[in-house]
Amino acid sequence: MARAALSRDAVVEIALGLVDDEGERGLTLSAVAGRAGVATPSLYKHVRNLAELRELVSIRIMNELADEAGAAVLGRSGDEAVRALMRSWRTYVVRHPRRYSAMLQVPHPGLAEAGSRLLGIVLAALRAYGLGDSGAIHAARCLRAAMHGFSVLEAEGAFGLPEKLDESYDLLIDMLTSGLGTD
């Protein structure tokens, strides 16, 4: 990448490429600078430090996930919306395992907007169940735990038995949607 083209977005894009190629451990300022063809101090015009770069990478990943989940849920409700949400989440994680693993998973002020967007999509998928505010948050947490856990285990190759993963995931979806449908 030519030095003149370097911008904050370009630095994040280079960082995502490093994460895709080498995983989170490969994301260093010197590695980003090397791919950009600049000296490491040149990056400080665009990001304060590695922590800010990790935050920006997480925001981008969270927004990608939200884009895909939002498109999947759009126009659907109830079980159909939850199924679409869960399938899109799993698809993203399996397609981008290193990106997903690099995304900050804990509350962080810099991620508030992207996190709210993603949470809004999850809550929209749950709207048809008529859950109260607290009930919707509990359900969203359960969905996130199920989607995250299954997808990460799959992406890491942790399911070694011969039964088909799609069948297991469909069972997980059925278990969750049937639980959402009860009082």
Is 68 part of a structural domain of the chain?
Answer: yes
- Judgement on whether residues 130 and 153 belong to the same structural domain of the protein: yes
CA gap 87, 107 in Å, rounded? 24
| Tokens of residue 103, six digits | 């995304």
Is 170 part of a structural domain of the chain?
Answer: yes
- Judgement on whether residues 98 and 20 belong to the same structural domain of the protein: no
Confidence of residue 183 (pLDDT cuts 50, 70, 90): very low
Residue recorded with tokens 């693993």: 101
CA gap 157, 5 in Å, rounded? 38
| Cβ–Cβ < 8 Å for 14, 32 | yes
Condensed to tens digits (0 to 9), the pLDDT of residues 126-143 reads 999 999 999 999 999 999
Condensed to tens digits (0 to 9), the pLDDT of residues 31-70 reads 999 999 999 999 999 999 999 999 999 999 999 999 999 9
* Burial classification of residue 15, based on how many CB atoms lie within 10 Å of its CB (0-12 exposed, 13-18 middle, 19 or more buried): buried
Q: How many CB atoms are located within 10 Å of the residue 141 CB?
A: 11
- Judgement on whether residues 127 and 167 belong to the same structural domain of the protein: yes
- Judgement on whether residues 157 and 175 belong to the same structural domain of the protein: yes
CATH code of the domain in which 13 resides: 1.10.10.60
- Judgement on whether residues 66 and 14 belong to the same structural domain of the protein: no
Structure confidence at residue 182 (pLDDT): 53
CA gap 7, 46 in Å, rounded? 6
- Judgement on whether residues 175 and 143 belong to the same structural domain of the protein: yes
Model pTM?
0.92
Spatial neighbors of 105 by CB under 8 A, at least 6 apart, are: 148
Is 123 part of a structural domain of the chain?
Answer: yes
Is 52 part of a structural domain of the chain?
Answer: no
Its domain, for residue 171, covers 57-180
